[in-house]
Amino acid sequence: MEIFDPQVAYGSIDSSTAFSLIELVRHGIGFAAFDKFADKSPFSINEWCTYLHLSERTLQRYRSEKRKFDPLQSEKIIAIALFYNKGVEVFGTADKFNSWLETDNLALGKTKPKMFLDNSFGINLLMDELTAIEYGVLA
């Protein structure tokens, strides 16, 4: 079950889905949509601030002003949502996936996977790990 649907399916991204994602990023994720996902996600507000490179005060201002995130932040939110949905799919339940996110991982240099969500290279690395797990290649 997806906990956040960025208005498109998260499966294989075809050209129409990619265009929808591009438009969503350009338009910006509204705070209400983000807040709905953030409340259901296993990440704390401090972690979200780290992932989005925002201070907690700025995030609070976005909430009170009902602001949209800029394209870079919107892209990061969508990337994390797609990653999270894929992780739940691969692990079968949110609880199992959340546990994986919190556990030091040998393949990731004995680091918790969630520590890599602050940049696109880290998210791509984690998606590769999910693919490996999905196909039974456990490192």
Residue-wise pLDDT tens digits, 115-131: 999 999 999 999 999 99
The distance of Cα 36 from the centroid of its chain, to the nearest Å, equals 13
The pair phi, psi for residue 68, each rounded to 5°, is -95, 150
- At residue 18, the pLDDT reads 85
Quick one: pLDDT at residue 13? Answer: 54
Alpha-carbon distance values, 122 to 19, 30, 32, 40, 117 (Å): 24, 24, 26, 22, 6
d(CA 96, CA 91): 6
- Averaged pLDDT of the chain: 89
**Is a pLDDT exceeding 70 seen at residue 106?**
yes
pLDDT surpassing 90 at residue 78:
yes
Residue 16: is its pLDDT beyond 50?
yes
Where along the chain do its domains lie? 15-134
- CA nearest to 6, candidates 61, 83, 63: 83
Task: Lowest mean pLDDT of 16-20, 39-43, 119-123, name the range.
Answer: 16-20
Tell me the pTM.
Answer: 0.87
The percentage of the chain sitting over the pLDDT mark of 90, rounded to a whole number, equals: 81
Q: How many CA atoms lie within 13 A of 7 on its CB side?
A: 17
The three-class DSSP label of residue 112 is coil
Query: 13-17, 23-27, 38-42, 128-132: which has the minimum mean pLDDT?
Result: 13-17
Query: Looking at residue 139, what is its pLDDT?
Result: 52
Neighbours of 18 (CB within 10 A): 11
